[in-house]
Amino acid sequence: MANKIYMTSGKGGSGVTTCALYLGRALAETGERTLVIDGDRLAAGGIYAAGLAGKQTYTLADCEKGACRARQAVVSVAGQPNFFVAGTLGLKDENAAAEAVEELDGIFDYIICDKICAGACDGAFIVTEPYAAAIKSADVCADTLAGEGFEEPQLIVNKLNGGQIIEGEVMTAQEIAALLHVKLAAVIPEDLMLPTGKIKNFTRKAFRTAAERIAGKGDGLCNVLKNYFGPAGYVRRKLRARI
Ligand SMILES: Nc1ncnc2c1ncn2[C@@H]1O[C@H](COP(=O)(O)OP(=O)(O)OP(=O)(O)O)[C@@H](O)[C@H]1O
Ligand SMILES: [Mg+2]
């Protein structure tokens, strides 16, 4: 049986798709056979972000129509033997995706569902940015998840900038988790390369640390304050505000 994680957010654009894909990849790198279900039924955002546009023959929408089996909609990612993605572009009924998750359950260690198939999952992760509006909506999201039967959702604080913490502009991930009364699963730094499709080594390591913590192979959290002390850190803090 796979660990099935429903990944969601209160506020849009918090980084759910980014975290689902990079965390999925990192879990795969630690040896866990991992599938990410891209819940973007309108634009296949996850499939594009994973660089898989044009590389899939079927999606779970074809599975819904009876044109293929769920496993035929699973796309393997080149160079990542344990990492797989399935799209839902054009899917009409979310229940069809949930049935596909059930069908795929036995052949993966982790299935991460990007804002889809909550009912098929046994755990939930809330992704939040460290800003007030996102934290407030993460709080509402936690309540909604509790209503859906997720007793202990976990938190991923994404886009956290160490310089902003030092300047007192945002809270630490631990403070955000304490405020929301949810367990902190991962801290992912702000990485302005991510929107361009690239990733800094520091961020990649943060996802790796998160994957190890989630898979019970470690208990670390990314220290986003690193590199923001001393004269170089001061310059880095001041530069961020100006670029
Ligand atoms: N750690 C990060 N640092 C900087 N930018 C990030 C980070 N994580 C995600 N982003 C950027 O934020 C934007 C939104 O990310 P993403 O699409 O993953 O969010 P989402 O929660 O899936 O959005 P939606 O609600 O539309 O599904 C993207 O441009 C992405 O590259
Ligand atoms: Mg998304």
Residue 243, pLDDT > 80, answer: no
So what's the pLDDT on residue 240? 83
CA-nearest residue for atom 14, ligand 1, is: 13
- What is the per-residue pLDDT for 185? 98
> Residue 107: is its pLDDT beyond 80?
yes
CB of 14 closer than 6 angstroms to any ligand 1 atom: yes
pLDDT by residue (tens digit) across 44-70?
999 999 999 989 899 999 999 999 999
* Closest C-alpha among 139, 164, 184, 169 to residue 236: 164
Quick one: which ligand is closest to 192's CA?
A: 1
Tell me, using a 6 A CB cutoff, whether residue 12 lines ligand 1: yes
Atom from ligand 1 closest to the CA of residue 115: 27
Q: Using the atom order of ligand 1, give the atom closest to the CA of residue 189.
A: 1
The pLDDT value recorded for residue 241 is: 76
- Cα R_g (the chain), whole angstroms: 18
CA distance 214 to 243: 34
Q: Which two tokens stand for residue 24?
A: 């999925």
Measured CA to CA, the distance from residue 73 to residue 66 in angstroms comes to: 12
How is residue 10 annotated by DSSP?
S
The domains of the chain, with CATH numbers, are 3-242 (3.40.50.300)
Do residues 153 and 190 lie in contact, with contact meaning Cβ atoms separated by under 8 Å?
A: no
pTM for the full model? 0.97
Distance CA 10, CA 235 (A): 33
Are the C-beta atoms of 22 and 166 separated by less than 8 Å? Answer: no
Whole-angstrom Cα distance, residue 237 to residue 231?
Answer: 10
Give the pLDDT mean for 8-31: 98
Q: What is the pLDDT of residues 165-180, one digit of tens each?
A: 999 999 999 999 999 9
Average pLDDT over residues 186-204: 96
Predicted local confidence at residue 177, as pLDDT: 98
φ, ψ of residue 93 in degrees (nearest 5): -115, 120
Ligand 2 ion local residues (Cβ < 5 A): 16-17
Q: Which ligand has an atom closest to residue 11 CA?
A: 1
Q: Are 73 and 58 in contact (CB under 8 A)?
A: yes
The C-alpha angle 184, 160, 33, rounded to 5 degrees, equals 55
Helix (H, G, I), strand (E, B) or coil at 163: helix
What are 55's two structure tokens? 């590389």
Residues 136-152: what's their mean pLDDT? Answer: 97
CA–centroid distance, 94 to ligand 1, in Å, is 23
On the question of pLDDT at 242 being above 80, the answer is no
